[in-house]
Amino acid sequence: MLNKLIANMLPYMPKKLIWVFSKRYIAGETIEEGLLASKLLNEKGIEVTVDVLGEFITTLDEAEANMHEYFELIERFTNEGVKGNFSIKPTMFGLLIDKDVCFNYIHEIVALAASKNSFVRIDMEDSQCVDMEVEIFKKLRSEFPKNVGLVLQAYMRRTISDLEDMKELNTAASPINFRLCKGIYVEPESVAFKGYEEVRANFLAGLKYMFENKMYAAIATHDKYLVDESLKMIGEMNIPKNMYEFQMLYGVTPELRQSIVDDGHLVRVYVPYGIKWFRYSTRRLKENPKMAQHIIKALFIRG
Ligand SMILES: Cc1cc2nc3c(=O)[nH]c(=O)nc-3n(C[C@H](O)[C@H](O)[C@H](O)COP(=O)(O)OP(=O)(O)OC[C@H]3O[C@@H](n4cnc5c(N)ncnc54)[C@H](O)[C@@H]3O)c2cc1C
């Protein structure tokens, strides 16, 4: 209860204090820091997917600036040989302001990545965005079948039917590439499963569907039960290594992550960086309110 209260106060706390706890989850503010964190992960045999923080925009000028930031990111990371790809949030490119402009900006980003033989993952945002993000993905996939992927959220009731709907896009030459995660936004029961076990069950049902239909699965979870069940499914269904990977967020469950790497599976870490780290951090800290205890301790220490 107290933890939750403190978590809700986070946005009003001094930025410097929040940073003490956020640095675990964020590579830094600059592209150099994003590069450094990614190279250090590469040295441990881990690949990355890099995200520029900045989902909260109100003008198309900001959307255009975000596109240019991704251009720089893609140029720098591919030129410097970082093993990894890129994640984007469509709202950062104006999805909720003008969806055609947003599509054009994302198209430019994916075209640049494709020219470098790289890959862009479209993150899935809250339920008002899902139809539009599926549509953007479908259009881009027809032009860049090897260079673009989407996220599906296991808490959404529609996820299996989205998979069925997109099955026709799948080909052996370019398997459709989905990241499967639980889903992070607060959604009404009418669209999302609310029970912990229900979400887990839908996650495994979605994963099974992807494997049965020869789609590429990026298994994004820190839930040990789901990691173990996924590994069991991979073994039982004899899924080849080029058809799946595991994904985790920067700074979360590094021991579990390392155990998967040590077992010989590909792991990719989602590396966020950027000056807009504050909103991202307060959301991460709210997900894990126990950390708020440390914040209040630090408040006292700072007097
Ligand atoms: C690579 C990646 C990309 C993602 N992309 C999206 C996306 O596009 N759209 C979307 O809606 N969601 C996305 N998510 C978030 C996801 O939907 C979940 O909210 C998040 O991963 C927590 O779910 P979980 O499966 O780890 O299970 P949980 O049951 O939430 O966590 C399992 C265990 O992991 C540990 N853990 C989890 N989170 C934290 C934390 N912040 N700090 C410390 N320990 C933690 C705890 O030990 C916890 O008990 C992404 C997640 C990952 C890993």
Supply the pLDDT for residue 301: 42
Q: Are residues 110 and 17 in the same domain?
A: no
38/143 same-domain check:
yes
Asked whether residue 211 falls in the same domain as residue 62, the answer is yes
2 with 128, same domain: the answer is no
Residues 260-287: tens digit of each pLDDT = 999 999 999 999 998 877 776 776 667 6
Instruction: Read off the CATH number of the domain in which 259 is found.
Output: 3.20.20.220
Closest ligand 1 atom to Cα of 121 = 8
250-257 CB contacts, 8 Å cutoff, 24+ apart:
250/25, 250/26, 250/27, 250/37, 251/24, 251/25, 251/26, 252/25, 252/222, 253/222, 256/222, 256/224, 256/227, 257/46
Residue segments in the chain with a per-residue pLDDT below the cut of 70: 1-3, 11, 55, 280, 283-285, 287-303
The answer to whether residues 80 and 37 belong to one domain is: yes
Give the pLDDT score at 200.
98
b/e map of 135-153 (b: 16 or more CB within 10 Å)? ebbeebbeebbebbbbbbb
Note whether 12 and 56 are same-domain residues: no
Are residues 220 and 297 located together in one domain of the fold?
no
| 222 CA distance to ligand 1 middle (Å) | 6
pLDDT digits (tens, 9 = 90+) for 281-296: 776 667 666 665 555 5
Same domain, 194 and 84: yes
Active site (annotated) includes residue 179: yes
What is the spatial distance between Cα 80 and Cα 16, in angstroms, rounded to a whole number? 31
- pLDDT in the model for residue 234: 98
pLDDT of residue 66: 95
Same domain, 222 and 186: yes
Nearest CA to ligand 1 atom 31: 223
Residues 116 and 132 in one domain: yes
Catalytic residue among 51, 123, 141, 200: 123
Pocket residues for ligand 1 (CB within 6 Å)? 123-124, 151, 153, 179, 181-185, 220-223, 247-249, 252-253, 270, 284, 287-288
Q: Let me know whether 61 and 198 are in one domain.
A: yes
Structural domain of 289 = 1-26+277-303
Examine the domain organization and report whether 184 and 266 are in the same domain.
Answer: yes
User: Contact at 8 Å (CB) between 27 and 272?
Assistant: yes
Provide the number of structural domains found in the chain: 2
pLDDT at 57: 87
Q: Does the global pTM surpass 0.85?
A: yes
